[in-house]
């Protein structure tokens, strides 16, 4: 044995040829700080091993190396001196692999991402099996490759291909990686180790010029000035258009490649080290790393629920067709769970099937779905007018009109049809599950299952636990949501649950400015361009439906009569009374239509200004607009955590990211609060406290700030 560590072992596989194998104790290999230390030790041993003729780098797992240990990042990055030292030292470990005095071959299977890809790039040759996926996804964490990726990849596959890989963070299948020269051969999985060894032998025997293969990675980039300039100019334009100002990582990746292009390896690595360090200190990096960690926490919690499920969902029923019902039925059928779609009107059933067909047609046009699969999915949806058609399903998702009396009646009726063991759920967006359960004989078998529109695109499903909902029911519904490819987050019952409850104070903050005569178009621009929401509050209200938003204010007022009191003179109420319902009837805050080419249009309407009494062009300072919209939302999400509506700050952040499109570079409401600093947020909120209860922070937040505590430290996923 040449070397034996906790995660790495090195031994001769044949006389003269060593195998450096990553073999971590967990389910995957990753470059945590301890593994990087072992990697350096193992390479030092190899450097000093006599009679060594070649080295292959392998993994004992089904996947190669998934990257760095991201759980270490936030703590590490909080110490600037430690971060600079770590990235400089860690990146030089990969130089040790590249500098071994013998040919090296990386043997990749499964995922080789981030640091895993960079380890392969440090090898002279790369052999992949047919399962391999290779990539540098660091931009998705607000970072760039930190172990030499921005230096080596351009020299291996060319600067244009490298910029595409690095600035998009996309994963690449083995065939695509081979087309650009990132790997040298593809073999069947059973032949991977043998193929890597044979290539090392061929190189050692002089049949392959491994030194010539290695040299370009040590030298300046071999591209003439004109070619390099054109590549960089084109990339800058694409990055500016796609990433914008809120995501600095793609810009820094280009900067590192440009600054290192005319340098030898050490100079190029320094350029990468500097860019990487700069990014670790940005709010975007802190937020995006936080999202990754929160997502892992949410997924772990969901798996625990699903693992505890005693009932398997094999068939589903959807009550209420139309666009939402059709979307739910499609999602179930597309994931292999046949769905019965029941309504009382044939035209609603026709609309539901049309919705499913429309989604599939787009899939066919994009080459993601073939005709055979399309037919199979559509045939897995059974539209019906008969209650008896759902009597044998395992779960029913009620998706009828958002009215407590109608829902209560429909739920009670269908409970009498389905089996005692079947689960009943409601897709209500605001109505209390505990109140709806009062209509049922088996309330323990009932919970909320709140999908977001469009169902096939929106990843979040809120699972709402009523007072009498059993653990078995929650477990089974979480498992079903996971089968649907969704991210389920379990919340406790209250009007609006989590997502809509925190949305309404945000919209109330917006409406307050409009009531003061501020132009809603200007507010939308600030919240989209500067804060980063995909839609401003006026546009979002139109998309949700002004009538829907107005109806929900009644429900929210009943639950929170002082904080969310309904105002008949507010912008939403006035638009609803004027039957300006938003996109659904072509007029709301904006008017909607199509241009000469048939593309959708959205324009401010003079009639809206007249109706609402606001002044076109009247603006507030951008910081004030952001504060008046966001303080109420953050305050409400803190209340939800304090009241145990949501189990952790991580779950709250992911719910708003996946359910509302909270700007990812801000990381979610709790990460945004932490970035601002709790003391600063409280000071800002106190400035606007006179505007009403939604601007007044909780006593709990004041205590947290005084104690210097973090919501992430005290509310990890339960």
Whether the link from the prior residue into 454 is cis, omega within 30° of 0, is yes
Residue 588 near residue 542, CB atoms below 8 Å: yes
Q: What are the tokens at 52?
A: 């060594």
- Contacts of residue 677, defined as CB under 8 A and 6 or more positions apart, other chains included, come to none
How far apart (Å, rounded) are the C-alpha atoms in residues 10 and 19?
A: 6
535 has binding-site annotation: no
**Active-site hit among 450, 456, 551, 690:** 450
- Contacts of residue 424, defined as CB under 8 A and 6 or more positions apart, other chains included, come to 395, 396, 398, 411, 414, 415, 418, 440, 442, 445, 446
How far apart (Å, rounded) are the C-alpha atoms in residues 542 and 264?
A: 56
Q: What are the tokens at 263?
A: 């340098």
DSSP 341-370: EE-S-HHHHHHHHHHHHHHHHHHHHTTSS-
How far apart (Å, rounded) are the C-alpha atoms in residues 431 and 555?
A: 7
Query: Taking CA 526 as the corner, what is the angle to CA 522 and CA 527, rounded to the nearest 5 degrees?
Result: 115
401 has binding-site annotation: yes
Between the alpha carbon of residue 577 and those of residues 63, 521, 558, 603, 611, the distances in Å are: 59, 21, 20, 21, 11
DSSP 6-67: SSEEEEEEETTEEEEEE--SSSS--B-HHHHHHHHHHHHHHHT-TT--EEEEEESSSSSB--
**Residues 637, 643, 646, 648: is their CA dihedral positive or negative?**
positive
Closest CA to 342 of 401, 390, 377, 403: 390
Closest CA to 546 of 566, 576, 521, 501: 576
Q: What are the tokens at 584?
A: 């659904």
400 has binding-site annotation: yes
Q: What are the tokens at 718?
A: 């339960």
φ, ψ for residue 426, nearest 5 deg: -120, 135
How far apart (Å, rounded) are the C-alpha atoms in residues 161 and 693?
A: 54
Residue 650 near residue 294, CB atoms below 8 Å: yes
227 has binding-site annotation: no
48 has binding-site annotation: no
φ, ψ for residue 578, nearest 5 deg: -85, 5
| Terminal Cα distance for the chain, rounded | 43
515 has binding-site annotation: no
The distance of Cα 13 from the centroid of its chain, to the nearest Å, equals 42
Number of Cβ within a 10 Å radius of residue 29: 27
Q: What share of the chain is helix, strand, coil (3-state, %, to 5)?
A: 55, 15, 30
- Contacts of residue 41, defined as CB under 8 A and 6 or more positions apart, other chains included, come to 3, 5
**Pairing of β 8-14 and β 17-22:** antiparallel
224 has binding-site annotation: no
How far apart (Å, rounded) are the C-alpha atoms in residues 66 and 45?
A: 25
DSSP 609-621: HHHHT--TT----
- Contacts of residue 633, defined as CB under 8 A and 6 or more positions apart, other chains included, come to 502, 503, 505, 506, 509, 669
Active site annotation includes 690: no
Say if residue 186 is exposed, middle or buried (CB neighbours under 10 Å; 0-12, 13-18, 19+): middle
Closest CA to 102 of 128, 116, 126, 123: 123
91 has binding-site annotation: no
Say if residue 270 is exposed, middle or buried (CB neighbours under 10 Å; 0-12, 13-18, 19+): middle
- Contacts of residue 23, defined as CB under 8 A and 6 or more positions apart, other chains included, come to 7, 8, 9, 29, 59, 60, 61
- Binding site for substrate, by residue number, is 295, 500, 658
Residues annotated as catalytic (active site), given as ranges = 450
- Binding site, by residue number, is 295, 324, 343, 400-402, 407, 429, 453, 500, 658
- Binding site for NAD(+), by residue number, is 324, 343, 400-402, 407, 429, 453
């Amino acid at each position: 044995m040449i070397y034996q560590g906790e995660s790495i072992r090195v031994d001769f596989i044949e006389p003269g040829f060593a195998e450096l194998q990553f073999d971590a104790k967990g389910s995957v290999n990753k470059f945590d700080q301890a593994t990087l230390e072992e990697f350096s030790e193992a390479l030092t041993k190899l450097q000093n091993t006599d009679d060594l003729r070649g080295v292959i780098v392998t993994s004992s797992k089904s996947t190669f190396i998934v990257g760095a240990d991201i759980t270490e990042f936030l703590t590490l990055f909080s110490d600037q001196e430690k971060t600079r030292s770590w990235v400089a030292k860690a990146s030089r470990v990969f130089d040790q692999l590249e500098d071994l005095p013998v040919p090296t071959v990386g043997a990749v299977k499964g995922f080789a991402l981030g640091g895993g890809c960079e380890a392969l790039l440090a090898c002279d040759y790369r052999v992949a099996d047919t399962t391999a996926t290779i990539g540098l996804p660091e931009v998705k964490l607000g970072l760039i490759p930190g172990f030499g990726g921005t230096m080596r990849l351009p020299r291996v596959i060319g600067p244009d291909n490298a910029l595409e890989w690095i600035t998009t963070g996309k994963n690449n299948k083995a065939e695509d990686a081979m087309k650009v020269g990132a790997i040298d051969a593809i073999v069947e999985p059973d032949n991977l180790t043998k193929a890597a060894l044979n290539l090392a032998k061929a190189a050692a025997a002089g049949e392959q010029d491994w030194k010539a293969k290695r040299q370009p990675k040590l030298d300046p980039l071999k591209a003439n000035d004109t070619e390099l300039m054109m590549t960089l100019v084109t990339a800058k334009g694409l990055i500016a258009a796609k990433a914008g100002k809120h995501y600095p990582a793609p810009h820094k990746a280009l900067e590192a490649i440009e600054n290192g292009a005319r340098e030898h390896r050490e100079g190029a690595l320094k350029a990468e080290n500097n860019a990487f360090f700069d990014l670790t200190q940005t709010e975007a990096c802190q937020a995006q790393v936080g999202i990754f960690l929160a997502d892992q926490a949410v997924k772990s919690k969901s798996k625990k629920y699903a693992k505890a499920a005693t009932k398997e969902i094999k068939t589903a029923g959807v009550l209420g067709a139309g666009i939402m019902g059709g979307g739910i039925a499609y999602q179930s059928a597309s994931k292999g769970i046949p769905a019965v779609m029941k309504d009382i009107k044939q035209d609603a059933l026709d609309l539901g099937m049309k919705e499913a067909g429309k989604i599939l047609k787009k899939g066919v046009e994009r080459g993601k779905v073939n005709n055979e699969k399309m037919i199979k999915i559509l045939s897995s949806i059974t539209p019906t007018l008969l209650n008896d058609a759902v009597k044998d399903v395992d779960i029913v998702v009620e998706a009828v009109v958002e009215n407590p009396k109608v829902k209560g009646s429909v739920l009670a009726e269908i409970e009498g049809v389905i089996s005692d063991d079947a689960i009943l759920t409601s897709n209500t967006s605001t109505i209390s599950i505990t109140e709806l359960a009062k209509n049922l004989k088996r309330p323990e078998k009932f919970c909320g299952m709140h999908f977001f529109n469009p169902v096939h695109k929106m990843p979040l499903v809120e699972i709402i636990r009523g007072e009498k909902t059993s653990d078995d029911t929650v477990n089974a519904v979480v498992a079903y949501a996971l089968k649907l490819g969704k991210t389920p987050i379990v919340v406790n019952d209250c009007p609006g649950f989590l997502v809509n409850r925190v949305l309404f104070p945000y919209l109330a903050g917006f409406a307050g400015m409009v009531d003061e005569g501020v132009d809603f178009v200007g507010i939308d621009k600030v919240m989209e361009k500067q804060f980063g929401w995909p839609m401003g509050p006026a546009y979002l209200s139109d998309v949700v439906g002004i009538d829907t938003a107005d109806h929900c204010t009644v429900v929210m007022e009943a639950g929170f009569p002082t904080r969310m009191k309904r105002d008949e003179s507010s912008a939403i109420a006035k638009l609803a009374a004027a039957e300006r319902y938003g996109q659904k009837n072509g007029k709301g805050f904006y008017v909607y239509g199509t241009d000469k080419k048939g593309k959708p249009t959205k324009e401010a309407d003079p009639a809206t200004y007249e109706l609402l009494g606001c002044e076109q062009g009247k603006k507030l300072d951008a910081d004030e607009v952001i504060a008046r919209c966001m303080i109420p939302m953050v305050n409400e999400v803190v209340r939800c955590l304090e009241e145990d509506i949501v189990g952790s700050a991580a779950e709250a952040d992911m719910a708003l990211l996946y359910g509302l499109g909270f700007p990812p570079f801000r990381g979610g409401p709790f990460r945004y609060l932490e970035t601002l600093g709790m003391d600063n947020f409280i000071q800002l909120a106190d400035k606007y406290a006179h505007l009403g209860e939604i601007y007044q922070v909780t006593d709990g937040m004041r205590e947290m700030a005084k104690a210097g505590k973090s919501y992430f430290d005290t509310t990890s996923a339960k």
